[in-house]
Every structure is written in structure tokens, then in C-alpha cells.
Amino acid sequence: MSLILISIDNFVKGDFELNPLIIKILISFFCFTTLTLGNGIAQEFRSDNRSQLQKEDDINIYKSENISSLDLLQALEISGISIHKYNLGKFTSKCHLYILVDEYTNGEIVKTDTILNEDNTYHYYLESDTVYYIDYIDQIKVISKLEDDILKLQFVTYAQDFLYKIKYKLTEEGQFFKLRDFKETKWALNRKIPLLVFASSWRDVKYNYQRFCGVVNLSVGDKDTKLLLNRSPKYFEIYYKVVEYKDK
């Protein structure tokens, strides 16, 4: 009741925000009051068998039946958040698993960070059992968030969950950075397997503006991928390597 009174007071004073939750409470309160007082409806307890969606949004403010997964991903992208999942393929033996980041300036590697040095196994449990089981991971998930001059990368596997930050600088007016995924990400022994790049735009000398165009899904050895990266004066390549297992 206090929330409603505060909201009405703010409404009268002209100092309010159209918060959907407040609107929902006000509508529900006035509808209930009108029905109860006008029609003499009695109260009674009854198990609420409506769907979970109806319980959480009973007057359908959010029109969730019209919202697709694509809509949610686009909304996240506007907020600087994106989700990337990579299929590693099937492992049949224990291996070392490394995740690394190469920093490039004008096509040359200037720095390499090893951000994960583990193996490719994980443990899991079944509720009815008293032992734990071991299997091989088959995917890497990366959730990215762009904040000012920092790209946050949250890496998630069945065994690990860790954060890595890329700090970058914009060196020209209008410059920006973009993320691009690689298509083929299945593992191969002792090979560098790129997952994604974080690359800067470049200046179009003829028209004097920053651009970042070309291939969207990258491939190792592809001429369009090479062209895109050759044009970018600064980029970071995130990749993994699988190496034969040896005890540390």
C-alpha cells in the first residue's frame, strides 16, 4: 500500500517514472478494489494453477509470446553483450588444453597471453550414485561485454569459469572494434584453433571514414579472412591448442 501511495503522491507532484512494475500494481489494486467494493466479491484461498508465465506477468505487460530468442540476442548486443559457443568435437583421451590470446599490431604479433593451462576433462555426479564420473569437454562458451576501453571475456566450460579482460585504445577519431567468430573450431592435435577475433576498424582514405566490412564468419586460410585482418591495424585473436597429455 505504501508503494502505491508514494507512486500516487509522485504522480500528483509530477515527479514520477512510468515503471512497469508500479503500473502493474496500480492497475491490479484499482481493479481489485472496484470489483470488491462494487460487486461485493468475497475472498477465498485457492491453489493458483495458472502457468508460470501468467503468474510472473499476469496482465501481460511484456508481451513475451511475441519475443523471440533473436530479439533477446539483439537487445543484449545493443547493451554491449554477446554470446559465443564453440564446438570442439569429441575427445577420446586426456589432453592438455590451452587457451591463448595473440595481440597483433599492423599484422605482427606483439604479445601472447596464456589464459588457461588445464586438461580437457571434467567431473560430474549423479544424484543416486556415490561416485563421481569423468568425461571430456566438447565446447567452450565465451560471453563478452564491451565497456568503454575494456572487453570482458567470460570463458565457461564444464570444468572452468573465468574472466579475461582485453584493454585497448582508440587511436583515431571514429575508430571502433568488432568481434568476429571462426566457423571451424573442432580440435586437432598440436594445432592453433582460432575461436574469435576482436579487431579494429580502418580508415577509408578515399572517403575519409572508419569502416569494418567484409567476411562475417572467418576461416583459417580463407582469402577474405586474410583481407579483413590485413586491413585491421590492431586486433586480438583468441584461440586454443590441444597437446598430448604429460603429467606436470
Q: Tens digits of per-residue pLDDT, 110-127?
A: 999 999 999 999 999 988
Please report the pLDDT score of residue 33 as a whole number: 55
Percent of the chain clearing pLDDT 70 (strictly above) = 83
Please report the pLDDT score of residue 44 as a whole number: 87
**DSSP per position, the chain:** -HHHHHHHHHHHHT-----HHHHHHHHHHHHHHHHHHHH-PPP------S-HHHHHSTT-SS-GGG--HHHHHHHHHHTTEEEEEEE-----S-EEEEEEEEEEETTEEEEEEEEEEEESEEEEE-TT-SSEEEEE--EEEEEEEEETTEEEEEEE-SS-EEEEEEE----STT--EEEEEBS-----BT-EEEEEEEEE-EEETTTTEEE--S-SSB-TT-HHHHHHHHH-SEEEEEEEEEEE----
**DSSP per position, 56-68:** HSTT-SS-GGG--
Q: How many other C-beta atoms lie within 10 A of the C-beta of residue 104?
A: 19
Please report the pLDDT score of residue 4 as a whole number: 42
Please report the pLDDT score of residue 129 as a whole number: 81
Please report the pLDDT score of residue 115 as a whole number: 97
**Distance between CA 185 and CA 139 in Å, rounded?**
9
In this prediction the pTM is 0.79
Q: Tens digits of per-residue pLDDT, 152-208?
A: 999 999 999 999 999 999 999 999 999 999 999 999 999 999 999 999 999 999 899
| CA angle, 190 then 193 then 199, to 5° | 140
Residue 10: pLDDT over 80: no
Q: Tens digits of per-residue pLDDT, 34-69?
A: 555 455 567 888 889 989 999 999 999 999 999 999
**Domain residue limits, the chain:** 2-67, 77-244
Please report the pLDDT score of residue 41 as a whole number: 63
User: pLDDT band at residue 130, thresholds of 50, 70 and 90?
Assistant: confident
